[in-house]
C-alpha cells in the first residue's frame, strides 16, 4: 500500500495488465518500464499504474500516457528505454504510438486496426 506525493508528476503511464496484454508479455513490459524509470531517476515525474483491459487487445501490449492522451501499441520490454527517455524529454516514442488525443477524439495511426464501433 502506498500514498505517493504526485505534486511533481508530469506523466501517468497506464500499463495494461489485461489478459491479452499479459499473454504478450505485459508483466515483462511492466517490470521493464518501472526499472527504466528508476534507472533514469524519473520516479518523481512519471507515475505508473497497472490496469485491466483497456479495450484495444489487438494492440497488445498496450501502454497509455496521460494527461497527454497518447496510446502505445505492441510495446516490448526492449522499448522501455526509448519510451522513458522520450517522456523525460517531454516527447513521445513515435515508433509505437497507436492513437493520440486531438481534443475531439483519438486520432489513430493508420497502421493499427480501426476496431469495432461502440
Ligand atoms: S488486455 Fe490490454 S488492451 Fe485488452
Residue pLDDT tens, the chain, 118 long? 899 999 999 999 999 999 999 999 999 999 999 999 999 999 999 999 999 999 999 999 999 999 999 999 999 999 999 999 999 999 999 999 999 999 999 999 999 999 999 8
CB atoms within 10 A of CB 113: 12
Report if pTM > 0.85: yes
- Tens of pLDDT, residues 103-115: 999 999 999 999 9
Pocket test for ligand 1, best of 13, 20, 113 (most atoms within 8 A of CB): 20
62 Cβ below 6 A of ligand 1: yes
| Widest distance between CA atoms in the chain | 41
CATH code of the domain made up of 11-108: 3.40.30.10
Cα dist from 9 to 42, 76, 80, 87, 98, whole Å: 9, 24, 18, 12, 23
Residue 14 per-residue DSSP state? E
| Atom number of ligand 1 nearest to Cα 51 | 2
CA of 20 to the centre of ligand 1 (A): 5
Helices (H), 40-90: 80-88
Q: Which three cell numbers stand for residue 74?
A: 505492441
Burial of 20 (C-beta count, 10 Å sphere; 0-12/13-18/19+): middle
75 Cβ below 6 A of ligand 1: no
The closest of 35, 100, 103, 46 to 73, measured between CA atoms, is 100
Amino acid at each position: 500500500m502506498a500514498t505517493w506525493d504526485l505534486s511533481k508528476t508530469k506523466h501517468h503511464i497506464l500499463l495494461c495488465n489485461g489478459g491479452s496484454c499479459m499473454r504478450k508479455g505485459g508483466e515483462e513490459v511492466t517490470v521493464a518500464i518501472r526499472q527504466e524509470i528508476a534507472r533514469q531517476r524519473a520516479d518523481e515525474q512519471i507515475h505508473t499504474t497497472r490496469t485491466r483491459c483497456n479495450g484495444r487487445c489487438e494492440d497488445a501490449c498496450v501502454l497509455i500516457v496521460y494527461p497527454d492522451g497518447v496510446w502505445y501499441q505492441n510495446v516490448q520490454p526492449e522499448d522501455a528505454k526509448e519510451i522513458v527517455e522520450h517522456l523525460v524529454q517531454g516527447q513521445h516514442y513515435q515508433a509505437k504510438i497507436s492513437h493520440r488525443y486531438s481534443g475531439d477524439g483519438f486520432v489513430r495511426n493508420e497502421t493499427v486496426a480501426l476496431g469495432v464501433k461502440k
